[in-house]
Amino acid sequence: MMDAVRRKPMGAVGAVLVCSLVVMAIFADQIARHNPDRVRAVQRFQPPGRVFWFGTDDFGRDVFSRVVHGARISLQIGIAAVLLGTSVGALSGLISGYVGGRTDLTIQRVMDALMAFPTLVLALAVVAALGASLFNVIVAVALTLIPAANRVVRSVALSVRETAYVMAARGLGGSEPRVVFVHVLPYCFAPYVVIATANLGTAILAEAALGFLGLGVPPPTPAWGSMLSGAAQGYLFRAPWMAIYPGVAISLAVFGFNMFGDALRDVLDPKLKGH
Amino acid sequence: MDQKRIDSSLSRRELLVAGVGWAAWGATPRGAGAADEPPRYGGILTQDTFADAPHFDLHQSETIAALLPLAPCYNRLVQYDPFDSTRIVPDLAERWEISQDGRLYTFHLRRGVKFHHGKPFKAEDVRASWDRIIDPPKGVFSVRKLIFDAVSGIETPDDHTVRFVLKRPMASLLANIGQGWNVIFPKDVLDAKGDMKRDVVGTGPFKLKQYVRGVSLEVEKYPDYHVKGRPYLDGVKTFVIPDLNTAVNAYIAGQLLLHEATTESQAEQARLRVGSRGVIARLTQMSALTMEMNATRKPWSDPRVRQAASMAIDRKEAVDVMTDGAGEPSGMMLSTGPWALPAAELQKLPGYALDKAAERARARKLLAEAGFPNGFKATMIVRRGQQFESAAVLLKDQLGQVGIDVNLEIHETAAFYDKTRKRDFELYGGSYSTAVDDPDAIFGQNYLCNAGRNYSAMCVPEVEKLFLEQSQIRDPKARLPVVHQLQRVALQNVMKAVLGFRVTFYLYAGVVRNYRPHYSRYLSESREQVWLARG
Amino acid sequence: MSRYLLRRLIATVPVLIAVSMIVFVIMRVAPGDVAQMLLSGESGSVASAQEVRQLRQQLGLDRPYHVQYLTFLAGVARLDPGTSLWTNEPVMVELGRRIPVTLELAVLAVVISWTIALPTGVLSAVFQDTWIDYVFRVFSVAGLALPAFWTGTLLVLLLAQQFHWMPPLGYVSPTDNPRLNLQQFIWPALIIGYATAAILSRITRSSVLEVLREDYVRTAHAKGLHGAMVVGRHVLKNALAPVLTLSAVQMGNLLGGAVISETIFTLPGVGRFLVDAILHRDYPVVQTIVILFAVVVIALNLITDLLYAWFDPRTRYA
């Protein structure tokens, strides 16, 4: 354990950040000191202090409690979007790479089309069309994650398909789905985990960007992105803490996921193993 | 002018009073500041809007993004006194007469007025412009047509006289003609082009110099302007700045001399950074915070439920949050204007009680009677935008306290309009703005059965009756009690839950003189009288 | 080579059609339309349903969807995608004004991102797991972790509040006044460039790490070549391929990033135009810009593949 920390100090920092995020999300109700949605007009714009650690916002709500509960929302969006996006991407990549031929061609053209959209533009258009809600934000973010996962898993599947090992399995009369799931899938697992971890950060950032453009999770849900855009921008001068703390939370979370993801890749990527 | 310089030794409240008593500014057009100093010619006034105008045709426009940059290029028949928005003063009509029965208005036009393209201004231009406002030809969309429903036709007995013929007396005809939108276009351009979407040709103090889409619109002094010695400025440049913080920062950096209708927080920041080099005016705006309850949907068709919802709303808290503790709960008419229902009267109406806890207890009882002893769930649609969302968060919290569990649905503007137009909603948290603080305009647009913004779909016969009655009383003193009664009836029926009026801040550099903001930005934005002191 | 190119070019046609269909469908699913938007505003009056219907008809929005789609597609093929429903000006004219702005922003940002990413990435790899590596990695990941709109807003705030200075308002073209132009563009370019550099630096690092382990590099070392020379001559050239690929993908995303920085820094570019068009439901504009973005992304990918082949002969025209 200590050895791992010594060899991958950045990864360790990332792991600590990710763990605290998860703890915050799970025990939000215990950690938060106040009800995050409770409006108290008389306590508006309290600067950070002993009662309100991170101050209060334009409705007199406790910013600390909202940041803590925001961890839950951010993680929820991140995990759901990544699971949805990378799973669809990975599955289609697996099929694409393993089956090949016409199927591969069709799937790849669709991926090309999705990739041809700049990330934010696709998410923006989807939220505009479906309306802003927690679920639609997840779908929009997930969509942007599909092509990358597809490409990575496809290339792994392609290379695995040609290995003597899989050919042998096929030669022995293994059914196609069985070969895919038992022999090819495990090889795709490592790159999948690496991509998924790194994408968690991306997903959290995407939610923030949508929030800035006014297409994020609707209030009063304490989503970090919506917290630091919207009202916080309007009160940037008067109550900078309203925007600073959720901003710091986003940065730390993204930072943590990236560092953790890097370390994970170093460990899981067979090519780099043993160095 | 009673411009209040910002001085750090005074408290903020004292400094920001400039706009509270707009009526108190009185009728003297030019105040002390201006008398000491002779107006100075030259300079360019820089200001901003949040968006680009889709086109230049003000009769077909509804956004300040079009009016603000273009207003300097035009005149109206009559205008609001740039220093006193309670007064209607001549513009292109130098004087007018109203017939005894109040159904014929005769305007005598100024002579020697020339359009920017050289053609002399005549009665036919007024007629061409007003015909398309009142009865637009195919392809022209006059968005304020309904306000002038009482006007049956326009006549031009000679080149310098115009008559408005009315179906019934309309006490606030002049007040509505004076709205900033109702500018006079040249007949020949209208005939040739069909609209003014691409052209800017008026009689105003400034003419178009340069327009860079998405960037700025610049107008320059019109040397042949018909008012001698005006305008003082060489030009006005309006920048398009979509981001609020960027705009305030541009003001702080001195790149904007004028930044209108901003928030308290931004004003505070400008005060800290600009100090005595700037002026801050605080104004209650003609923009009411409201909640609509769709009466075609259950359970909102039940008056008890509507009343309970209105009683759940703590207007004092709402107004405190939205206007930073400075506004007052209000009825339909501008709280600082002459038609407002006095506070003592308001407190007798459902939802305005001072003892909120007791009123909420009554609200819960009403809900129980209506069959919801444990409350119920409802959905509120909200237009995307910080001010709308903030109001909605507050309403959700307050309705929750009597057991109405509200789910907020945020829609961007296009989708929001779609939902409201189709009445596809239960609750709608938002606001409505009207150009003028006039009962005809406010009730005609928001409360009558066929009013365009009667989203609640409430139709109260007594409101219709009182509306017609007050509209025809030309003596303001006699009209006032009827207008009060009209508000009382509308509030008792909870046609909409009205919370109060928005407060905004106007920032301008100390060198900007003869400028005065009003309760509405659609009244007086021509900048004809504005001048810049040596900075 | 030319056959390969031709094949690739033909392959883009179905992709572009797919893109145009996706955006067409998304925009029609979105509730509300431009007619309602044109007739409404913040000041209170509201157009009647009949007026909205009439304007829709005038704008051709009442035509069947397939007619609208095919008309648009035919227009795009002729390089004339029609007129903006919002401003009634030809889309190409509107775009012509805005493309240079976004292009300049993108080029500046890419230059900045390479300037940051290459040295930090290479040094990180060469000094792997030392404090140099950690510092550069933290620096680059921070760029990724700080939302661009956040740093942008803070930067504008800092400039205005502390220095009473703002990039000059309006837009000055680089040919008119390069100095003023640079004052307007350098800040958003720095912010996008830094954010972009984060990923680029990471890829440079891992790519260089990988090459460093290759046999020929070890051989070069064994031959006694100096470390810096090895890196300069062998490693960098081979490590560049993935960096280039990623850079091209990022150029595409940069267009997305422009949406935000153009808003904060009030630059009249394509990104802001697109957001406005989406909000106004200005269909032809949204469709054209998305297709334009797609063409740019595809072209960048093609160029990268060609460069890739040039750098690494093994993959030539595969």
Position A224 in a domain:
yes
Position A215 in a domain:
yes
pLDDT digits (tens, 9 = 90+) for C221-273: 666 666 666 666 667 777 777 777 777 777 777 777 777 888 778 888 998 89
Q: Establish if B251 touches chain C: CB-CB under 8 angstroms.
A: no
Per-residue model confidence as pLDDT tens for chain B (535 residues):
333 333 333 333 333 333 332 222 333 333 334 456 789 999 999 999 988 888 999 999 888 999 999 999 999 999 999 998 889 999 999 999 999 999 999 999 999 999 999 999 999 999 999 999 999 998 888 888 888 989 999 999 999 999 999 999 999 999 999 999 999 999 999 999 999 999 999 999 999 999 988 889 999 999 999 999 999 999 999 999 888 888 888 898 889 999 998 888 788 888 888 888 899 998 888 888 889 999 999 899 999 999 999 999 999 888 888 776 667 788 999 988 999 999 899 999 999 998 999 999 999 999 999 999 999 999 999 888 777 888 888 899 999 999 999 998 888 788 888 888 788 899 998 788 888 999 998 998 889 998 878 888 899 999 999 999 999 998 999 999 999 999 999 999 999 999 889 888 999 999 999 999 999 999 999 999 999 998 7
- To the nearest whole angstrom, how far is the Cα of A68 from the nearest Cα of chain B? 19
Selecting from C144, C286, C297 the residue whose C-beta is nearest the C-beta of A258 gives C144
Instruction: Give me the half-sphere count of Cα atoms (radius 13 Å) on the Cβ side of residue B4.
Output: 23
Architecture of the structural domain at C97-311:
Orthogonal Bundle (1.10)
Position B426 in a domain:
yes
CB contact under 8 A, A214 and B385: yes
The structural domain count of chain A equals 1
Position B195 in a domain:
no
Q: Establish if A218 touches chain B: CB-CB under 8 angstroms.
A: yes
Position B87 in a domain:
yes
CB contact under 8 A, B317 and A41: yes
Position A43 in a domain:
no
Q: How far apart are CA B444 and CA B434, in angstroms?
A: 10
Using an 8 Å CB-CB cutoff, list chain B residues near A233. 244-245, 386
Best to test chain C binding among A6, A102, A112 (most C CBs inside 10 Å): A112
Position A140 in a domain:
yes
Q: Which amino acid is at C80?
A: D
Chains touching B by CB (3 or more pairs below 8 Å): A, C
CB contact under 8 A, C165 and B453: no
Q: Which of A107-111, A126-130, B432-436, C89-93 has the highest mean pLDDT?
A: C89-93
CB contact under 8 A, B239 and C266: yes
Domain range list for chain C: 12-77, 97-311
Q: Which amino acid is at C269?
A: G
Position A186 in a domain:
yes
Segments forming the whole domain that contains residue A217: 2-28+74-268
DSSP state of B340: P
Instruction: Give me the half-sphere count of Cα atoms (radius 13 Å) on the Cβ side of residue C9.
Output: 6
For residues B6 and A107, the model is more confident at A107
Phi, psi of C227 (to 5 degrees): -50, -50
- To the nearest whole angstrom, how far is the Cα of A240 from the nearest Cα of chain C? 10
Phi, psi of B501 (to 5 degrees): -105, 150
Using an 8 Å CB-CB cutoff, list chain B residues near A59. 321, 390, 393-394, 397
Selecting from B63, B250, B412 the residue whose C-beta is nearest the C-beta of C41 gives B63
Best to test chain C binding among A109, A110, A121 (most C CBs inside 10 Å): A121
For residues B470 and C36, the model is more confident at B470
For residues C37 and B81, the model is more confident at B81
Residues paired with B258 in a beta bridge: B508
Cα A28 to the center of its chain, rounded Å: 19
Using an 8 Å CB-CB cutoff, list chain B residues near C86. 54
Domain harbouring A155, CATH code: 1.10.3720.10
Q: How far apart are CA B153 and CA B160, in angstroms?
A: 17
No. of H helices and E strands in chain B? Answer: 17, 18
Position A191 in a domain:
yes
Q: Which amino acid is at B55?
A: H
Q: Collapsing DSSP states into helix, strand and coil, what is residue B93?
A: strand
Chains touching C by CB (3 or more pairs below 8 Å): A, B
Q: How far apart are CA A110 and CA C141, in angstroms?
A: 31
- To the nearest whole angstrom, how far is the Cα of B105 from the nearest Cα of chain C? 25
Q: What is the pLDDT of residue B363?
A: 95
Using an 8 Å CB-CB cutoff, list chain B residues near C48. 452
- To the nearest whole angstrom, how far is the Cα of C249 from the nearest Cα of chain B? 29
Q: Establish if C160 touches chain A: CB-CB under 8 angstroms.
A: no
The structural domain count of chain B equals 3
Q: Which of B418, B198, B196, B452 is nearest to C56 (CA)?
A: B418
Q: Residues 168..197 of B with a Cβ closer than 8 Å to C: which?
A: 197
Q: How far apart are CA B315 and CA B496, in angstroms?
A: 13
Q: What is the pLDDT of residue B4?
A: 36
Q: How far apart are CA B433 and CA B27, in angstroms?
A: 26
For A268, counting Cβ atoms within 10 Å of its Cβ (0-12 exposed, 13-18 middle, 19+ buried), the class is middle
In total, the C-beta contacts within 8 angstroms joining chain A to chain B are 74
Q: Establish if A236 touches chain B: CB-CB under 8 angstroms.
A: yes
Q: Establish if C252 touches chain A: CB-CB under 8 angstroms.
A: yes
Q: How far apart are CA B385 and CA B326, in angstroms?
A: 22
Average of per-residue pLDDT values in chain C: 82
Residues paired with B108 in a beta bridge: B95, B161
Residues paired with B217 in a beta bridge: B211, B238
Supply the DSSP string of B404-418, one letter for each residue. EEEEEEEE-HHHHHH
> Is the domain of B319 the same as that of B431?
yes
**Burial C255-275, CB ≥16 within 10 A → b, else e:** bbbbbbbbbbbbbbbbbbbbb
Position B486 in a domain:
yes
Please give the structure tokens belonging to residue C259: 């949406």
Q: Establish if A91 touches chain B: CB-CB under 8 angstroms.
A: no
Average pLDDT over residues A87-112: 86
Please give the structure tokens belonging to residue C167: 């990039």
Is residue B137 a contact partner of residue B88, using CB atoms and an 8 Å limit? Answer: no
Q: What is the pLDDT of residue B267?
A: 87
> Is the domain of B444 the same as that of B410?
yes
Using CA coordinates, name the residue in chain B closest to C264.
B243
Q: What is the pLDDT of residue A122?
A: 81
Q: What is the pLDDT of residue A269?
A: 61
Q: Collapsing DSSP states into helix, strand and coil, what is residue B66?
A: helix
pLDDT digits (tens, 9 = 90+) for A184-220: 677 777 777 777 887 888 888 888 888 877 778 888 8
Q: What is the pLDDT of residue A273?
A: 41
> Is the domain of B124 the same as that of B186?
yes
Best to test chain A binding among C20, C150, C212 (most A CBs inside 10 Å): C150
Using an 8 Å CB-CB cutoff, list chain B residues near C159. 249, 253
Using an 8 Å CB-CB cutoff, list chain C residues near A110. 18
Position B453 in a domain:
yes
Q: What is the pLDDT of residue B493?
A: 93
- To the nearest whole angstrom, how far is the Cα of B455 from the nearest Cα of chain C? 11
Best to test chain B binding among A38, A39, A227 (most B CBs inside 10 Å): A39
Please give the structure tokens belonging to residue C235: 């490693």
Q: Establish if C158 touches chain A: CB-CB under 8 angstroms.
A: no
> Is the domain of B20 the same as that of B108?
no
CB contact under 8 A, A59 and B397: yes
Position B196 in a domain:
no
> Is the domain of B318 the same as that of B451?
yes
The total of other beta-carbon atoms located within 10 Å of residue B459's CB is 16
**Burial A112-147, CB ≥16 within 10 A → b, else e:** bbbbbbbbbbbbbbbbbbbbbbbebbbbbbbbbbbb
Average pLDDT over residues C121-130: 86
The total of other beta-carbon atoms located within 10 Å of residue B156's CB is 17
**Degrees (nearest 5) of the Cα angle A244, A247, A250?**
155
> Is the domain of B524 the same as that of B414?
no
Q: How far apart are CA B294 and CA C10, in angstroms?
A: 55
Position B292 in a domain:
yes
pLDDT digits (tens, 9 = 90+) for B237-270: 999 988 888 888 889 888 999 999 888 878 888 8
Domain harbouring B14, CATH code: 3.40.190.10
**Burial C21-57, CB ≥16 within 10 A → b, else e:** ebbbebbbebbbbbbbbbbbbbbbbbbbeebbebbbe
CB contact under 8 A, C42 and B62: yes
> Is the domain of B163 the same as that of B271?
no
Q: Which of A35, A69, A75 is nearest to A52 (CA)?
A: A35
pLDDT digits (tens, 9 = 90+) for A248-272: 899 999 889 888 887 887 777 655 4
CB contact under 8 A, B265 and A238: yes
Name the pTM for this structure: 0.84
Q: How far apart are CA C231 and CA C126, in angstroms?
A: 8
Position B261 in a domain:
yes
- To the nearest whole angstrom, how far is the Cα of A212 from the nearest Cα of chain C? 7
CB contact under 8 A, B321 and A218: no
What is the ipTM for the molecules in this complex? 0.80
Using an 8 Å CB-CB cutoff, list chain B residues near C47. 141, 143, 452
Using an 8 Å CB-CB cutoff, list chain B residues near A128. 412
Best to test chain A binding among B265, B405, B408 (most A CBs inside 10 Å): B265
Average of per-residue pLDDT values in chain A: 81
Cα C30 to the center of its chain, rounded Å: 24
- Band of residue C283 on the pLDDT scale cut at 50, 70, 90: very high
Segments forming the whole domain that contains residue B29: 3-73+204-277+510-532
Q: What is the pLDDT of residue C316?
A: 47
